[in-house]
Amino acid sequence: MSTTTLGFKKALLRFALTALLLPGLFARATDRALVKRLDAVVDRALAGERIVGVVIFVARDGEIVYHRAAGFADREARKPMREDAVFRLSSLTKPFVTTAALSLIEKHLLGLDDPVTKWVPEFRPKLPDGREPVITIRQLFTHTAGLTYGFFEPENGSYHRAKVSDGMDQPGLDLDENLRRLASVPLVFPPGTAWGYSLATDLLGKVIERAVGAPLPEVVRRTVTEPLQLLDTDFVIRDRARLVTPYADATPRPARMSDSQAVPFGVGAIRYSPSRIFDPKSYPSGGAGMVGTAGDFLTLLETLRTGGGKILKPKTTRIMTSNAIGDLPVPALGAGWGFGLGMAVLKDPLAARSPQAASTWQWGGVYGHHWFVDPKNRLSVVVLTNTAIAGMIGAFPDACRSAIYGR
């Protein structure tokens, strides 16, 4: 073999090795840049005392490329945040309950177009003109049932006058009583004609109980958390030592929450009772009643992103995470967004002014959380804070998203 030929083969081998290594080297460089950007966002939020404590997980292709616990789980006790900290999940409860309900649909124990009265015959709210419309299970999933939340109303709103709980206050309240109060209030629009974020998932919890003949927490454990071995996520708190202290937005820094805490939100206020989780008489709110960890929630998201694993069929997860409301607007997020079965779905990134890819699905939780899954970029992101509501909407979540996408 000539020296020229040997040199050529060596060069070709070096080229082949470089081609094999470059994607990995590029990914590692990208991940290092992401870590630097996200660290800066977290550090600024903590230094400015907008956020008290936070746990973040970012996974790409199922591999965790960023994880961090920072700040305090309890500021006054100087207790540092840990990655296995347990949070009041608020609306991060909804994907668990939605998944449980969809597993029952797969087993033909429920039908998407069943009327709610098939399972909860006593729930018969009326429109302002006195008509009694049909509400379907599908409309509960998509928040098109004509219900709302009390925190969207001013203090003299009909939900407040009827003492309807949003599922995070009034410790000790029974679900049947709360649904009785809810049914006594006129619907805010005819079912199916608009989108309105609401107590629909609390009602779905009652449907699940009636369809299976078992309490909602037991059904969620059996269909979701136990198959995925999510040991820290439930409607009860097992390890109080890891439960974070919640804080409310205030000036000059977030204030430690007390029971019956009201945090201004739009024209109304969100009411919190942190002690609710300790009261066994409090109904298991399907929309807001669970506690859990960032790691457990990431496992759920990754399971759904990759087709449903042990808990749902791939076809079901595709339906769940696809826009199901046509062109109905989603005022909570603005232009470019639709809604699937339990979460918002990005239809038009340009209209939404979002760096996320079309078909991204996401939501948040009013105790201070936000999350999203971008299937096209194979990303799953969970950000849990103990600061309401700055951890859910506003400067901090927006900065986290920008850092993840390098924008």
Distance CA(93)–CA(34), nearest Å, equals 28
**70: its two tokens:** 């920072």
Residue (of 150, 54, 78, 69) closest to 388 by Cα position: 54
Strand order of the sheet with strand 53-60? 79-80, 63-74, 53-60, 379-385, 369-374, 361-365, 344-346, 337-339
Sign, Cα dihedral of 70, 71, 73, 78: positive
Q: What is the DSSP letter of 280?
A: T
Residue (of 385, 315, 371) closest to 343 by Cα position: 371
**135: its two tokens:** 């509400």
Q: What is the DSSP letter of 197?
A: -
- Read off the amino acid at residue 156: N
Q: How many residues does the chain have?
A: 407
Catalytic residue, candidates 91, 103, 282, 359: 91
Omega prior to 389 cis, within 30 of 0: yes
- Read off the amino acid at residue 221: R
- The CA distances from residue 111 to 35, 106, 119, 308, 321, in Å, are 44, 9, 11, 19, 18
Longest dimension (CA), the chain: 95
Residue (of 139, 146, 98) closest to 125 by Cα position: 146
Catalytic (active site) residue 91: yes
**336: its two tokens:** 């470019």
Which segments within 258-356 are labelled E, that is strand?
261-265, 268-272, 291-292, 337-339, 344-346
> How many CB atoms sit inside 10 A of residue 91's CB?
23
Q: What's the N-to-C CA distance of the chain in angstroms?
A: 53
* C-beta of residue 289 within 8 angstroms of C-beta of residue 274: no
* C-beta of residue 268 within 8 angstroms of C-beta of residue 155: yes
Instruction: Point out the residues that are catalytic.
Output: 91
